[in-house]
Structure 1
């Protein structure tokens, strides 16, 4: 689904627009010249349906040359093994995410607990995947006219990062589960969810210039995106926790 001249939403499940499998997060493709950049990879349960979406948008899988992961939770990275195999894309992630994705450690990403709670189907299994490029904040990636900068945004999970994409005179924040429309966050009862870290991340994002907010679930904003960080910050500055989508 084309949402802007250089941006397509190609996966989105029950926590978004019901484009693809119910367990998929929002997955955005950003055009960088002749190449496409994929941000997150969905849960990997129904890749055929995603392939239909790509075909409908006129995007050949082979044109997806880079995949950037925000964190290792299954709805964001469970599909990366499939899409790396289909596209031959370079997979990028932060160090902590890379370790979990490469090992396929279901306990580390709380998938075992989520499956036991009935959040994921009993037969869902995570597919480990090599990570080709371990990013730091000091290592931006330039692809054609686009520059992708990773920033650490822990809280929802310990390994969480977000991406600032500078393209065509504006900056996109691809925020995964760090920040949502309306100034909301994502708090859940897992070992590495840290409310204090969420609040620190909110402060950082509210001080970071960006135009579009492209989050991992729910609605997005193509302009004025930082107002959502400022809305979350209003709660933090009043010693309150921003409202959670969970």
Structure 2
């Protein structure tokens, strides 16, 4: 689903547009000259659907060469192994995410608890995936006209990265689960979800200039995306926590 001149939404589940498998996060594809870049991988149960969406949009999947992960949670990183099998992608992630992916560490992404809670099927398994390049906070990658900067944004999870993308018709913030439309956040009863770090990460993101917000769930904003950060920061300024999604 093309959403901007250089941007497609190629996956989205029940917390978004029901475009692909219900467990998928929003997966964005950005055109970078002769290549394409993916942000996040979905849960891995609907890879054929993702490829079908790409085909419907006229995207040559042989040109999808890069996959950036925001964090290792199953709905974002669980599909990385399957996508890597189907596409000639280099996989990028922060060091903590990379360690989880390589080991297929289900405990690190609280998957056993999520299965017990009925969030994922009892037979869902997290597949290990190689990570080709680890990114540090502030690290930059240039792909065609794009400059992609990694931004460490712990809070939703300890390994969370967001990405600031420049070089296209507008500047994009790929926020993963750090911030959503309406200035909302996701707080979970997991070992590494932290309100204080969530707020600090939102303030950090607010320091970046961008027009479009591409979050991991719900809808996106192609213009005036900063208003969602500003709404969250207004709550934080009063020592509060932004409203929770759900």
Conservation of the 8 A alpha-carbon contact between 1:26 and 1:216: yes
Q: 1:59-84 CA distances to partner (integer Å, 9 max, x unpaired)?
A: 12211110000000000011111111
Give, in whole Å, the separation in 2 of the partners of 1:139 and 1:240.
Answer: 31
Aligned to 2:66: 66
Give, in whole Å, the separation in 2 of the partners of 1:114 and 1:221.
Answer: 29
- Backbone CA RMSD of aligned residues: 0.9
2:163 equivalent to 1:185? no
**C-alpha displacement of 1:46:** 1.7
TM-score (norm 2): 0.98
Q: Equivalent residues in 2 for 1:216-231 (5 A)?
A: 216-231=216-231
Task: Give the number of equivalent residue pairs.
Answer: 246
Give, in whole Å, the separation in 1 of the partners of 2:137 and 2:188.
Answer: 26
Q: Equivalent residues in 2 for 1:91-102 (5 A)?
A: 91-102=91-102
Matched position secondary structure for 1:81: helix
Conservation of the 8 A alpha-carbon contact between 1:39 and 1:69: yes
TM-score (norm 1): 0.98
Matched position secondary structure for 1:128: coil
Give, in whole Å, the separation in 2 of the partners of 1:40 and 1:27.
Answer: 5
C-alpha change, 1:11 and 1:169, in structure 2 (3 Å) is closer
Conservation of the 8 A alpha-carbon contact between 1:62 and 1:86: no
Conservation of the 8 A alpha-carbon contact between 2:66 and 2:91: yes
C-alpha change, 1:138 and 1:184, in structure 2 (3 Å) is closer
Q: Equivalent residues in 2 for 1:16-27 (5 A)?
A: 16-27=16-27
Q: Is there any run of 5+ residues in structure 1 with no aligned partner, and where?
A: none
Aligned to 1:120: 120
4+ long deviations beyond 3 Å: none
Give, in whole Å, the separation in 2 of the partners of 1:122 and 1:22.
Answer: 15
Matched position secondary structure for 2:185: coil
